[in-house]
A and B are shown apart, each in its own frame.
Chain A
Amino acid sequence: MAMLEVRNLQVGFDTPEGEVQAVRGIDFDLEAGDALAIVGESGSGKTQSMLALMGLLAENGHASGEARFRGRDLMKLSPGELNQYRGAKIAMIFQDPMTSLNPYLNIEKQMIEVVMHHQGLDRREARAHAIEMLRAVRIPDPEQRIRQYPHEYSGGMRQRVMVAMGLLCEPDILIADEPTTALDVTVQAQINQLMAELRRSSNTAIVLITHDLGVVAGLCDRVLVVYAGRVVEYGTVEQIYYQPRHPYTRGLLASVPRLDAVRGAGLNAIPGNPPNLLDLPAGCSFRQRCAEAFEACGEEPALRDLGDGHLSRCHLEPEQ
């Protein structure tokens, strides 16, 4: 039994226009120390699926399915029970470090409350632990800076604080939702490197949510490609990068800018837009944008095992 088993996870949102089916059945397993990337465009449901297992959906959202963490189904827990896992066993850091920290409380207050609550440390111990954690994420002069407020930190520093805060209780899983999207490129690399190191030193499993296949390779072992709320391809980094099977994955890879590309070749964007989640067309949801679509695509393909754990949701035969 894997540490985390997610089965048929579904998320919907009630809107005045009808129900938006943001996530329509996602499955994956996560073992201790794993690093899984969930890749997809904005609106593909990658963030919402993770928020659902953290119990953080917006008020109009609802989730179903199973998410067994060490045997307990997170989806069935009351908010009080879930709080024993959130922050302690499973931590999550968010896309926008500028707004994800409370601007009215200093860093110390925001960090020590986590360990005081989950581990019952007293204020002094909690503070010492928080300073140690800040040092681990290379915040300079943490004894002084811990007293400062979030706006006195730069964007990259804030995301480091978020990472430090997430790791305070040595969680089994760290979910990082596009942690570097809002940051400068150089800072992005630093944060990614930081997470890679922390994973190695503490055996924390990482779930990296991103739309950028470029950052995945250095950090993750396996990739889950999500499109319109469903898994369309799953495999190791090597399988996804070198033998992508789903036309959507191939499109994503082709749209990553490359230094070795032929001059003037331009970027290969995937034409069209993701389907309307309020009113999904029948059949394969990528059909309208797919250059290789044929008659069979009128029917939704199943997720097929292509061998070696490589899964793809496409009617095309591997030879093609």
Chain B
Amino acid sequence: MNVSRRKKSIIQAVSILSITTLLFGCSNPNEGADNKKNKDTLTMAWPRDIGEMNPHVYNPSQLFAQSMVYEPLVHYAEGGKLEPFLAKSWDISKDGKTYTFTLRDDVKFSDGSTFDATIVKKNFDAVLKNKALHSWLGFISKIEKTEAVDKQTFRMTLSEAYYPTIQELAVVRPVRFLGEAGFPKNGDTSKGVEQEVGTGPWVLDEYKADQYATFKVNKNYWGPKPKVKKIKVDIIPDAESRVLAFEKGDIDLIFGEGAISVDAYNQLKVTKSYKTTMSEPVATRLLIMNTKKKQLADERVRQALQYGFDKKTLVEGITSGLEAPADFILPPNLPYTSKLNVEKRDFDVEKAKTLLDEAGWKIPDGKKVREKDGQPLQIEMMYDAAELVQKAMAETLQSEWANIGVDLKIVGVELPDQVQRFKDNKFDINMYSNFGAPYDPHTFVNIIGTDGFGFKEAISAYPNKTELLQDMKDVLKTTDETKRQAMYAEILPSLQDQGALVPISYLKKMAIYQNGVTNFKFAANRDESPFAQIGIK
């Protein structure tokens, strides 16, 4: 063999080897994202890696996945009803400070260990090690003492009465329960857990970062056993790719808020080859008007702007039914928010014009924009540039309000920038949505009444601001249910009627699934997984 031939064969061999390595390298052929049809496994798509399965941490852990493995003491059910869960009952002392929970005695963790008051206390103590981080959840910063009274009794003492405690115990994180085997030696779970041991119906089975996660049924589950054996979560970051994978049949279910585009959802819906469903309202999309700004300080201007746009057409036109027009600043299916008496402000251009005239904003001859003392009625609205619905709504409002002589400038900003500007009171009108179930209404009134969120400044021009702020503080300390209901019935309509908070639409979750999927039902809790009784044929 001469030199050149040898060289040639070496080059050939190296090329073949490198191509093979590239194609097969770094991978195992069995790990693909494509799925063989399997009746026992439900495959869903999710945009982000599920993160660490630790009940006491936040991002990047995904709420729905945490809720599959870990469970709360209290369950947030439809209509904001708070039902016993891992705690079968509770007792609240008259002063509203001591909470005594009687725990279920038939609950085991996925590793077979017992769920009792000792492990509940251990979990609470682990959370309290990072009190500041969790202090956004009102009752955490008020906990003075936790006690395991006996095997089935857990007691918690607060520094002051705080009625939302039971409701806050229903949230997905950080007050859910990790088994003994999951705790690191120093008891501090904030840096990680040893094993993902929970009491929930699912156990993390397989996990490949950024690729997929598989959950299997917890054999020791105390409640009704799930109908499918496994749930596979395929991580597909791009919304259009999720739709394509769904159309191909690789994915059985896509769900979430804005999980796919409105167009894609409607396109799939009209084919009638798949099932689609929408949740009950989970939160409200609002306009927040900054009453500190000269133009918006006058209530008549704020009201005129509300009369000046056709909400029904705006919401239905832009969201094609994925959101519903909202009459109230909080969805009516939350605690204390149904049957509230608010002034309805339906689309009425003439009324809007009259109100603006009365407020002194008149249209000068030959001009289109109203003026007062030589100043044009210019207002700026900021929205999250990444959210297409917000952008379309801002553009529609711009054209609607132009008809009543208002010059609306719209500014798309990045979400963190939007939050910052809201906080710094550097806005005229902001688009906002509240936390929803299970956080509201108490979280909503709490952030309106607290410095540093932007709301307190935004309602500056309300004549009853001082009393309203006091009421918002007091309502959280109420121990009497009737009094609390009465207070919310005062606070919430007052916030809305004075026009700084304008409800636009109720946000809903969407789900689209293959015909074989059965019993799909959204959880009332916005963050909870909807897999309770889901099945697949």
Asked whether A and B interact, the reply is no
